[in-house]
Structure 1
Amino acid sequence: MCGIAALISLNGSSEHLTEIAAMTGTIRHRGPDDEGFAVFTQAPKVAVLFGGSETPDEVMSAGLHYSPKQAFCGTIPEDAVVALGHRRLSILDLSPAGHQPICTPDRRYWIAYNGEIYNYTELRAELEGYGHRFASHTDTEVIVTAYAQWGRDCLHRFNGMWAFVIYDAEEQKVFVARDRYGIKPLYYWFSPEGFLAIASEIKAFTILPGWKARLNGPRAYDYLVSNLLDHTRETLFQGVYQLPAGEAAEFRVEDVESTLPVYRWYRLEPQQFSGTFDAAAAEFRRLLNDSVHLRMRSDVPGGSCLSGGLDSSSIVCLVNDTLRSEEKQDFQKTFSACSHVKEYDEREFIDEVIGARDIQAHYTYPSFDMLLSQLDDLIWHQDEPFKTTSIFAQWLVFRLAAEQRVKVLLDGQGADEQLCGYLWFFGCRYADLFRAADLTRLWKEMQAVKSLHGIPETRSLAMMGYYLLPPSLKRPAMKYFQADCVRPSWINADLLAIPRGYLWQPNGSSSVPGVTQSIALAQMLYTSLPSLLHWEDRNSMAHSVESRVPFLDYRLVEFIMGLPEEYRIDAGVTKRVLREAMKGILPENVRMRMDKMGFYTAEEHWIRHEGPEIVRKLLREAVDASEGVLKEEAVERLDRMLSGEEPVSPQVWRWICFGQWMKIFGVRVA
């Protein structure tokens, strides 16, 4: 797990390639253990290697074919065309052999890489069968060797999370790729100064020649109005793009001009399952257990996030089973965010898991004062504004792990989207039953949801009705039920160049048979998971911690998405197959709890009771910093929330974060 950067000259000039060290300096937090640079000239296979001020002495003297022998001093060959930079967080092979950029023995293929390939041991053995030899015990060297052996088809062999840049120094060809579900980030920006920049985080571009922080109006509108981030390849910074999940680009340096030839290398293809529910639960348990086992491969101490919910508790218990089988259970640590406000606290469920498994538990208690003191830091690390203060709770969990010298954490991200874990999936379920004319079952479903979740029939009918509407009527319906979702009065839509009636909708998912499956896919690909993974990556890497997500093993995802919908949600119960698979593994109170919280904070309590004037001041500053995007009506609406005239909305923190983000990054509207 690391930070990567690359600079590619588009005009033959090497003038700005010297900025590669400054780029990696902005993302030092992603890899404080080592740094390295490789600069390539127009001559085939000519690479000049540099270390940095934080490159360990033993790396400089290692004598490997990719070891740097000199420190970077800002001078590079005049005919340089490509520069790779790397910041290392040492997880596998802690020796100098793990230094990056790393290359094949013939010095043709070079890589700067961020992530983990969990099946690297098996792939290494296969590649050795083809005659390849390795200088390290890293997954990094396995990736670049796999590319040398299989070309870009190597991606289909990897099980893990990754973002990397590979450079073919013989053909002067670049290959960039991102993992199937976008767990690891990769951004790119074409500078008007004549070069292409690639990096793990957007902030790496802010120190480069030609950089001007300009607001992307449509994406800002999506964020502020529809609560959407990372749903397209665009970012809130105009001209900055992310390589989408499951996509790659391969190009010769001399051919690229102002766009990347991006192609989709992976599409989520559900593996249809026709067996019984019990058989599905057994296979689910096998796949999840194997995923967890693979993600425990590490040469540094590891632990787990534990919210007290079904997903993280399942991972913690499966880790515990593995450690017990190896008589290592004393090493297990968990990290949790709790609350002094009872209605937001899950400590009782956390303690039930801890007590059943005898685990070393660590707790953090987010407070309003802590949030205020770290808000700017949090926004800077996130690169873009975030949706709710729950992100802050997760931030503190990773900080706590770092304080305990734990470098790897397993987390439950990604389960809700596949397993229909959110309450709005009941509306989808109703719609599918209605379309199937199964009215008896539909009525029983509504009664079960009312009994288990307290949702009355009238609300259930409204939920169903929305998903039954044709696309042409959904915008008017959303405007009726949620006035703030279509051109609200508190935002200057004209300033952002938003046409009348605009409301972003995902492409493609509506053609999937079944409302439940369609929404699950949209959640996975656009509306939920991408932004959750963005926050997870930035929160963990801000504290130099690697986060691993077992529920996003592609084998498990394709299996879950191929299950009949009633195996996932039925009779008022979400995540049915997971609950059945964890029978006898999880404490029953946790396995069958029906409420859902996650890393929540007491956000409404903070706004209403602990700091209403402070919140109002922050919002006032945000409106001023937004250069007219946020209108005075935002402050007026907050006043109505504080007086109790309307409920507190998560939009308050979106407004505040947006203004603070514009201020911190110097973003201008035009």
Structure 2
Amino acid sequence: MCGIAGIFDLREQREPDRDLLAAMNQSQFHRGPDEGGLHTEAGIGLAHRRLSIIDLASGQQPMFSADGNLCVVYNGEIYNFRELAAELAALGHVFRTHCDTEVILYAWQQWGERCVDRFRGMFAFALYDRAARSLFLARDRFGIKPLFYSVLADGQLIFGSELKVLKAHPALPRQLEPQAVEDYFALGYVPEPKTIYRDVYKMRPGHSMLFRRGEAVPQQQQYWDIPFQPVAVASAADLQDELVARLREAVQVRLVAEVPLGAFLSGGVDSSAVVAMMAQLQSEPVNTCAIGFDVKQFNETEYAAQVAQRYHTNHFEETVGSDDFDLLDQLAGLYDEPYADSSAIPTYRVCQLAKRRVTVALSGDGGDEHFAGYRRYRWHMNEERLRSALPLGLRRPLFGALGRLYPKADWAPRVFRAKTTFQALARNSVEAYLHSVSICSDEQRAAMFSDQLKRELQGYSVQSVFDEHAANSPTDDPLSLIQYLDMKTYLVGDILTKVDRASMAHALEVRVPFLDHPFTEWVSGLPADWKLRGQEGKYLLKKSLEPHLPNDVLYRPKMGFGVPLGKWFRGPLKERLRRDLLEGELPATGLFNQAYLERLVNEHQSGRRDHSAPLWSLLMFQAAIRDDHFALTG
């Protein structure tokens, strides 16, 4: 696992400033502390930080082809590289190393832009073709590995594994992107392809770009999408056996490493499933690690311990205090732009714990999206049955009025929050799903944003992000559609971003078996009622794992990583909250209606309302932009 950086001249053949490229690369030292490499020549500069996992003795980057025409920098793992190397060798290509990086060079020579179709794994890479005067950028199918880029005013393309790599270039535009502010306060992250900066972008998952000197900047080209093509379903027993076999194989290909390897074990279904498969594939005990909390309602370690005992793992556990808020400023530095998922704190801690024992860890991320594990899927499908009973033309005015009139009840369990249900029923399916996942509702954002920001937005709404993905969805099944929306937004923008930054902060590689693309292609085609049956999410996954995991693990209520934000904002973070939101740099931006922010703070700290989510999003926004001094002038 590594970090990449580069500068490519789109207009001329100016040689990049070597010291500047070195500084860009050094900004991501944490991603690859083992080695660093740098190459510059007329028109191109490529740099790399290496975390050595496979072929420790060789595999240094930037790496050149035998004829010297191609040069690549690469971050990730291609799990089928040995099979590809054998195929390419049979076609006449001669290998000098035993690593997956060299496979990319000769796969490009053999298959060109379609080489990405052959790669099984997680990756972001840049390949320079000297003869063609071109640069090819590609990102893996799910966006497990990040890739940022921007074209500067002088015609230079700059790119890197983290936004801080680009920020190290003095010519990077630092203008605020207003649409990203709208997106962030709805979702808690800035979704692909935007960043918080105007004219600075994230490569979309499953996309590539081919830049040629002297030609216009290309559009991102999609090379893969989640197919949702129906698969044949035999008996329930056969289906369960096939799921376990496919998951076991996805785990097996991720066990190749020349460094210590282990797994996260939260005590949930997905991480427990990965550990169960690992234990059945390894002769040595699996190294597992878990983070516990000193607040019982957030603590899952007893379930992790059950799995660890069943499979006799080398289990390591650590308890995090409920006052673990000292990471706030450090997190802002890790993510480089506003990011509001508070579970980034325990995720950082579990990566910190894992790194003490291993260099590679497998995780269970992706299981909830594949098998409809989130509670919101159940709520959405319950509401969908009601939406289907009445046309939108009747629902919108009727339930819209009820939603406006009914009192808000954030304190109550969702089943009693009629206001939220009425608001959802007044919308179409895609609008309703966005409403259910938004951390700040449409009404809250309208009250929160200043008149200046609203003018800058020119009517833009985050709804267009979901509408675009819905229009491109290969499925119109109601459950499959919202799973698709999550995989295009929440999975990459929140979950995978969180894991990448937290793990790489500790030079830890995380592998994600549930996001193996052959496994995904099969799972996506299963009928929806094998994923969510009645009110039971992950139905097929749980039935399939009954021989492998305790029932307490499989059928207990989902917990997830949580932190007590509400308590922090009324206690140890009370004064900081008031200072940063009401007295600090945030008012100077001109982005917000300060009277509304003061109301949020006062209502929360008095105990009248719980505004934890919007307050945390505001606090993390302020921490992320502190050094940029954004201010609206229009």
User: Which of these residues, 301, 320, 332, is aligned with residue 260 of structure 2?
Assistant: 301
Q: Partner of 2:503 in structure 1?
A: 540
Shift of 1:167: 0.8
Structure 2 distance, partners of 1:645, 1:436, is: 37
For residues 424-479 of structure 1, give each alpha carbon's deviation from its aligned partner in whole angstroms, at most 9, with x where no partner exists: 11133335656888xxxxxxxxxxxxxxxx97876699759836843798699889
Q: Partner of 2:457 in structure 1?
A: 498
For residues 201-257 of structure 1, give each alpha carbon's deviation from its aligned partner in whole angstroms, at most 9, with x where no partner exists: 111112213224221111112112x1253423111111110110011011322224x
Taking a change above 3 Å as real, the CA distance of residues 490 and 236 of structure 1, as seen in their structure-2 partners, is same
Matched to 1:17, the amino acid is: D
Matched, 1:380 2:333: yes
Structure 1 distance, partners of 2:413, 2:220, is: 45
Q: Partner of 1:270 in structure 2?
A: 228
Instruction: Give the SS at the match of 2:245.
Output: helix
Matched to 2:479, the amino acid is: T
- Preserved contact between residue 182 and residue 462 of structure 2 (Cα < 8 Å): no
Matched, 1:662 2:625: yes
Taking a change above 3 Å as real, the CA distance of residues 456 and 546 of structure 1, as seen in their structure-2 partners, is closer
Matched to 1:643, the amino acid is: S
Structure 2 distance, partners of 1:159, 1:418, is: 18
Structure 1 distance, partners of 2:218, 2:387, is: 43
For residues 543-573 of structure 1, give each alpha carbon's deviation from its aligned partner in whole angstroms, at most 9, with x where no partner exists: 1111111110011111121111110001211
Matched, 1:158 2:119: yes
For residues 81-119 of structure 1, give each alpha carbon's deviation from its aligned partner in whole angstroms, at most 9, with x where no partner exists: 111111111011000x21011122111221100000011
Taking a change above 3 Å as real, the CA distance of residues 618 and 429 of structure 1, as seen in their structure-2 partners, is same
Matched to 1:201, the amino acid is: E
Q: Partner of 2:24 in structure 1?
A: 23
Q: For structure 2, list consecutive stretches of 5 or more residues without a partner in the other structure.
A: 390-411
For residues 512-545 of structure 1, give each alpha carbon's deviation from its aligned partner in whole angstroms, at most 9, with x where no partner exists: 3221111110001124443211111111111111
Taking a change above 3 Å as real, the CA distance of residues 400 and 667 of structure 1, as seen in their structure-2 partners, is farther
Matched, 1:608 2:573: no
Instruction: Give the SS at the match of 2:446.
Output: coil
User: Which of these residues, 352, 358, 363, is aligned with residue 306 of structure 2?
Assistant: 352
- Preserved contact between residue 434 and residue 463 of structure 2 (Cα < 8 Å): no
For residues 323-355 of structure 1, give each alpha carbon's deviation from its aligned partner in whole angstroms, at most 9, with x where no partner exists: 1xxx211xx222222110111111211121122
1:108-507 correspondence runs (5 A): 108-224=69-185, 226-256=186-216, 259-275=217-233, 276-323=235-282, 327-329=283-285, 332-367=286-321, 370-372=324-326, 374-404=327-357, 406-430=358-382, 463=421, 466=424, 469-470=427-428, 485=443, 487-492=445-450, 494-495=452-453, 497-500=456-459, 502-505=461-464, 506=466, 507=468
Instruction: Give the SS at the match of 2:563.
Output: coil
| TM-score normalised according to structure 1 size | 0.84
- Preserved contact between residue 8 and residue 156 of structure 2 (Cα < 8 Å): yes
Matched, 1:5 2:1: no
Structure 2 distance, partners of 1:102, 1:634, is: 52
Structure 1 distance, partners of 2:154, 2:3, is: 24
Structure 1 distance, partners of 2:156, 2:15, is: 10
Identity, % of aligned positions: 30
Q: Partner of 2:533 in structure 1?
A: 570
Q: Partner of 2:404 in structure 1?
A: none
Structure 2 distance, partners of 1:460, 1:517, is: 26
- Preserved contact between residue 452 and residue 590 of structure 2 (Cα < 8 Å): no
- Preserved contact between residue 305 and residue 410 of structure 1 (Cα < 8 Å): yes
For the aligned residue pairs, the C-alpha RMSD in angstroms reads 2.9
Which moves more between the two structures, 15-24 or 388-397? 15-24
Structure 2 distance, partners of 1:368, 1:341, is: 7
1:11-160 correspondence runs (5 A): 11-12=11-12, 14=14, 16-18=16-18, 19-40=20-41, 80-95=42-57, 97-160=58-121
Which moves more between the two structures, 240-249 or 124-133? 124-133
- Preserved contact between residue 294 and residue 319 of structure 2 (Cα < 8 Å): yes
1:544-623 correspondence runs (5 A): 544-593=507-556, 595-620=557-582
Taking a change above 3 Å as real, the CA distance of residues 265 and 203 of structure 1, as seen in their structure-2 partners, is same
For residues 103-153 of structure 1, give each alpha carbon's deviation from its aligned partner in whole angstroms, at most 9, with x where no partner exists: 221112211000000111111111121122211111111111111111111
Instruction: Give the SS at the match of 1:125.
Output: helix
Instruction: Give the SS at the match of 1:338.
Output: strand
Shift of 1:190: 1.4
Which moves more between the two structures, 473-482 or 504-513? 473-482
Taking a change above 3 Å as real, the CA distance of residues 383 and 626 of structure 1, as seen in their structure-2 partners, is farther
Taking a change above 3 Å as real, the CA distance of residues 501 and 122 of structure 1, as seen in their structure-2 partners, is closer
Shift of 1:574: 0.4
- Preserved contact between residue 335 and residue 361 of structure 1 (Cα < 8 Å): yes
Q: Provide the aligned length of Structure 1 versus Structure 2.
A: 604
Taking a change above 3 Å as real, the CA distance of residues 262 and 482 of structure 1, as seen in their structure-2 partners, is closer
Taking a change above 3 Å as real, the CA distance of residues 623 and 663 of structure 1, as seen in their structure-2 partners, is closer
Matched to 2:55, the amino acid is: D
Shift of 1:263: 1.0
